[in-house]
A and B are shown apart, each in its own frame.
Chain A
Amino acid sequence: MAKDLDKKLAVGQGLDRYASAVGLIGALLSTLGFILAFVLAAPVNGASVDGVEMIGGQMVSNQLLFSQKIFYFHMPAAVTSMVALAFTAWFGIRFLTTRDARYDLRAKLATEIALLFIIMTMFSGEMWERFEWGVWWTWEPRLTTYFILMLLVFAYFILRTAVDEPERRATYASVFGIITFIDVPICFMITRLIPSSVHPVVFRTDSGLSPDMLVPLLLSMFGMFCIAFALYRLRLRTETMAQEVDAIKREIDE
């Protein structure tokens, strides 16, 4: 049993063998998604104009919104951050049930990755907001719940640095990681719970996205999942090595 667990949590083999390749695939997919977002996806319609024009064989009677191109990376980054936080919660639960410190390390690194993608989401969202809504910030339901999520992730790291004793730190962080994850479904569902929200509901039976829009979006999303996985494994390898360094230092001191 213990051997199985050791094998599962081993670093430097298995999953790590594929991490670089997955990272490369992620870079390729997201680059392809980026290119197709500009080349393949048609611009969405904005406000109506005072007439109709024929563009590319189609009757156009609305403004074409170029700013919507931000969406093709903005939403995948947000979804990736939420998936990473699901792993934080999962590893937190695993730590609380097994008391194995390796799960705590994994939870910390998953949260690190979540923070990176939260920052990316915030950056891109800010640019959209400034241009389309004319403000840098508004307390719109999706924005507010995502902002709370970002604060919870900051608080997670503050909590980790505030507690010195490793076992206690891991326990508190695991519980806090699970609590942080509770905001993820709230944030995801808020556009359904409060339909007045200006954020669209993208994931539904009929997403309203035509294939030319869906393809770049999905490519970017799977690309980001791959990048997140590769970065997570890279950080895990480094942190495991750092623990080895500490162990050797202790051995030399003795």
Chain B
Amino acid sequence: MNPILEQIYATIIPSAPYVIAAYALMWAALCVFVVFALSRLKRTEAQLAVLESTLASRQDDLTDQIRKQ
């Protein structure tokens, strides 16, 4: 290769791993946060569904008891 071009492009290949690592780390951080946020949302939704059904069945039981009385 032309020595001038060699000098011009001298930092391209050595810097590539750092550029790739920078973008990969940023995307990894973002993905970790998204996974954390979504898993917490799913867990909370599941908890809410269970609790709402428990509350509903309790209220039904209470209504039955009042009717019987």
Contacts and interface: CB of A to CB of B under 8 A. Distances in A.
Interface of A: 34, 46, 49-53, 55, 60, 62-67, 69-70, 73-74, 77, 116, 119-120, 123-124, 126-128, 130-131, 227, 231, 234-235, 237-238, 241-242, 244-245, 248-249, 251-252
Nearest to A123: B25
A73 B51 contact: no
A232 to B, nearest CB: 10
Given A77-B26, A124-B26, A252 B54 contact: yes
A73 B22 contact: yes
Nearest to A130: B18
Interface string B47-68: 1100110110010000000000
Given A131-B14, A245-B47, A248-B48, A69 B19 contact: yes
Contacts of B7: 49-51, 63
B11 A127 contact: no
A245 B48 contact: yes
B8 A55 contact: yes
27 contacts: A50-B3, A50-B4, A50-B7, A53-B2, A53-B4, A63-B7, A64-B9, A64-B11, A66-B12, A66-B19, A67-B11, A74-B22, A124-B23, A124-B26, A128-B22, A131-B14, A231-B34, A231-B37, A237-B41, A238-B44, A241-B41, A241-B48, A245-B48, A248-B51, A248-B52, A252-B51, A252-B55
Identify whether the interface residues of A are mostly helix, strand, loop, or mixed.
helix
A28 B19 CA distance: 21
Contacts of A116: 29-30, 33
Contacts of B3: 50-51
A123 B11 contact: no
A60 B8 contact: yes
B17 to A, nearest CB: 9
Interface of B: 2-5, 7-12, 14-16, 18-19, 21-23, 25-26, 29-30, 33-34, 37-38, 40-41, 44-45, 47-48, 51-52, 54-55, 58
A246 to B, nearest CB: 10
Given A124-B25, A131-B15, A245-B51, 17 more contacts: A49-B7, A50-B4, A52-B4, A53-B8, A63-B11, A64-B11, A66-B11, A69-B19, A116-B29, A123-B25, A124-B22, A126-B22, A231-B34, A235-B37, A238-B41, A241-B48, A252-B54
A50 B3 CA distance: 9
B41 to A, nearest CB: 4
B23 to A, nearest CB: 6
